[in-house]
């Protein structure tokens, strides 16, 4: 058909032009192997058909043009782009040999018709390259073939081979069947969906609210010394060869932002009031500490440093003289001037006002085993008590919900207004009080509700199918099983669920159940999808097995030195870490998946 199109639309001059064009293609991109080879050795041979470098260049160009490939050679190396391209050529030839062995044929005329219709096959997929334009041979030769770096005759041969390979894939797909039971099971799995409203009580967040006493740490050390010693032995590196460090706590109260030079009197007056309010707050914090209140309690109640307020202003063990606290320099300067146990006066920075406490200090070198064991024990106590508090807060919330409140009453919704009538912080207070009566005062001051991150909020999972993880929660089989049997009219299920180390209360927000009418409407699409998935697996296994068998018989040979050179990537960034070592390439490794990762190339750009 291409020939007839040329004859009907060209003159003698055009033929001369086409001859010149063919010569340019031959000189620029290599003459086709069916005309002149100049003795060049092929990269590989499959059932007697050579794979030349020009063949490889065409395949790589086709993938790049129609799928898009990242130009980053480091990423190409990690994905094995060149390996995928080479084995996709091998796959095409292996399946073509299978087609011919069972009497199937593909003619050049069929490749011409495919092209004239504006289609081409790449990695087994038929793609439209012409768009809604009318076929024009000159545009085809100069445009498409120029981009693909291939001569017209060689391009048609590649497409003829692709047609042969596609006939085998189509034959396997046509013989693939799926049972009605499998189709119904798939429909039920996809159609039966549920959405949950839930609140998650994070053990880690509640652990930040715990300040273990020395007596608690001593008791834990006494009962778990062997376990702690084993942890110290396995994690000893984190306690050795350290710079001098300080453990610091802060209370931070933000100052208002500076005003523009041309700010009016009203703005200046407002800023003075805000600055005075900040000074009043920091003074109140200092007064409470001087009266004997715990620095950590005051930080939780008044500090506006969201990253540390929940854990009592604790910055942890930091290198004040080196990397610093991450706060303003005045904080590090104040900590340097303090002795362990001392608290600074009000320190003013450019952004905020601070109170700084130096909890402890360590000289440079190794942390002693005794001190390291106490640190590990303190972390364990905090972790265990945090888990207990999270569980008890969840139970308190569940109890409130049983008495007629809704989850929207009790929990804040992300980004929404705080209209909760029984804030979760009050339930937390009850949980802490029940857990330890001596913490009653602390519970009232432990949380700064508007600013403390991580406290439970009501969230909506959105619809998800059976046996899928809960969006936002992950795998929670017990929770989802109970939800499917729960009464959708109940505000919450009568149980606190363990999800990892956290605790969750939940209710059914929405539930959709498939029926026979829905199944009838969806059956055809589901059948098509299942057949495609199953036939892809069958074809992958079949193609790879035929490739390995042919290689074992010697019907597939490889020029190893050439292939090693071809698969060497130009990665020159000496500063970047080398990509993970990949298994050495062997022909047939990636045959069967129609290019594997290359078929998903759009996901990583081009």
Per-residue confidence band for 573, with pLDDT thresholds at 50, 70 and 90 = low
The residue with tokens 């899928």 is 468
Q: What is the mean pLDDT of residues 276-294?
A: 95
The residue with tokens 């991450």 is 326
pLDDT above 70 for 426:
no
3-state helix, strand, coil in the chain (%, to 5): 55, 15, 35
Least confident of 23-27, 225-229, 410-414, 469-473: 23-27
| pLDDT tens-digit series, residues 55-96 | 999 999 998 888 877 788 888 888 888 999 999 999 999 999
CA distance 334 to 102: 85
Joined together, the tokens standing for residue 184 give: 């119904």
CA distance 182 to 192: 15
What pLDDT score was predicted for residue 352?
95
The residue with tokens 């600055």 is 275
Handedness of CA 96, 98, 103, 104 (dihedral sign): negative
What pLDDT score was predicted for residue 32?
42
| pLDDT tens-digit series, residues 441-465 | 333 333 333 334 456 889 999 999 8
Q: Which of 245, 257, 249 is nearest to 305 (CA)?
A: 249
What pLDDT score was predicted for residue 306?
87
What pLDDT score was predicted for residue 579?
52
Measured CA distances, 216 to 210, 224, 310, 436 (Å):
11, 12, 20, 13
- Strand 502-512 and strand 497-499: the pairing is antiparallel
Joined together, the tokens standing for residue 330 give: 């005045």
Q: What is the mean pLDDT of residues 5-18?
A: 40
Q: What spatial distance separates the first Cα and last Cα of the chain, rounded to whole Å?
A: 34
| pLDDT tens-digit series, residues 506-520 | 999 999 999 999 999
pLDDT above 60 for 23:
no
Q: What is the mean pLDDT of residues 381-393?
A: 93
What pLDDT score was predicted for residue 454?
56
DSSP 3-state assignment of 31?
coil
Q: Identify which has the larger pLDDT, 570 or 122.
A: 122
């Amino acid at each position: 058909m291409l020939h007839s199109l040329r004859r009907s639309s060209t003159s003698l001059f055009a033929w001369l032009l086409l001859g010149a064009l063919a010569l340019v293609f031959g000189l620029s991109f290599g003459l086709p192997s069916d005309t002149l080879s100049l003795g060049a050795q092929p990269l590989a041979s499959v059932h007697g058909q050579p794979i030349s470098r020009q063949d490889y260049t065409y395949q790589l160009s086709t993938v790049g043009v129609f799928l898009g490939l990242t130009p980053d050679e480091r990423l190409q190396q990690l994905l094995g782009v060149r390996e995928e391209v080479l084995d996709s050529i091998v796959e095409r030839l292996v399946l073509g040999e299978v087609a011919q062995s069972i009497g199937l044929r593909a003619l050049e005329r069929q490749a011409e018709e495919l092209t004239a219709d504006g289609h081409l096959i790449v990695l087994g997929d038929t793609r439209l390259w012409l768009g809604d334009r009318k076929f024009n041979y000159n545009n085809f030769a100069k445009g498409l073939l120029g981009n693909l770096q291939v001569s017209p005759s060689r391009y048609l041969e590649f497409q003829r081979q692709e047609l042969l390979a596609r006939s085998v894939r189509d034959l396997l797909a046509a013989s693939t069947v799926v049972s009605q039971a499998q189709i119904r099971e798939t429909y039920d799995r996809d159609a039966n969906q549920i959405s949950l409203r839930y609140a998650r009580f994070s053990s880690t967040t509640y652990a930040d609210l715990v300040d273990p006493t020395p007596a608690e740490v001593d008791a834990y050390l006494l009962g778990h010394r062997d376990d702690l010693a084993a942890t110290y032995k396995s994690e000893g590196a984190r306690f050795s060869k350290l710079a001098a460090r300080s453990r610091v706590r802060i209370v931070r109260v933000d100052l208002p932002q500076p005003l523009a030079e041309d700010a009016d009197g009203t703005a200046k007056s407002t800023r003075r009031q805000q600055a005075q309010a900040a000074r009043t707050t920091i003074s109140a914090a200092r007064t409470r500490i001087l009266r004997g209140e715990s620095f950590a309690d005051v930080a939780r109640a008044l500090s506006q440093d969201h990253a540390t307020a929940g854990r009592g202003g604790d910055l942890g063990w930091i290198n004040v003289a080196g990397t610093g606290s991450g706060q303003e320099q005045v904080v590090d300067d104040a900590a340097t001037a303090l002795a362990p146990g001392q608290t600074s006066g009000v320190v003013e920075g450019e952004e905020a006002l601070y109170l700084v406490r130096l909890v402890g200090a360590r000289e440079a070198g190794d942390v002693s085993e005794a001190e390291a064991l106490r640190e590990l024990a303190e972390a364990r106590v905090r972790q265990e008590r945090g888990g207990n508090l999270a569980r008890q807060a969840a139970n308190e919330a569940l109890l409130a919900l049983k008495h007629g409140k809704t989850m929207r009453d009790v929990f804040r919704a992300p980004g929404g207004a705080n209209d909760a009538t029984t804030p979760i912080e009050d339930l937390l207070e009850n949980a802490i009080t029940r857990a330890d009566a001596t913490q009653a005062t602390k519970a009232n001051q432990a949380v700064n509700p508007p600013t403390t991150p991580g406290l439970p909020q009501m969230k909506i999972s959105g619809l998800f199918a059976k046996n899928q993880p809960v969006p936002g929660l992950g795998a929670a089989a017990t929770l989802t099983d109970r939800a499917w049997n729960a009464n959708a009219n109940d505000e919450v299920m009568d149980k606190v669920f363990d999800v990892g180390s956290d605790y969750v209360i939940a209710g059914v927000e929405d539930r959709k159940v498939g029926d026979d009418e829905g199944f009838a409407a969806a059956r055809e699409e589901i059948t098509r999808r299942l057949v495609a998935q199953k036939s892809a697996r069958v074809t992958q296994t079949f193609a790879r097995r035929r490739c390995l068998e042919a290689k074992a018989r010697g019907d597939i040979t490889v020029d190893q030195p050439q292939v090693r050179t071809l698969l060497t990537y130009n990665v020159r960034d000496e500063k970047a870490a080398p990509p993970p070592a990949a298994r050495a390439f062997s022909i047939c490794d990636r045959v069967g998946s129609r290019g594997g990762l290359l078929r998903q190339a759009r996901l990583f750009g081009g």
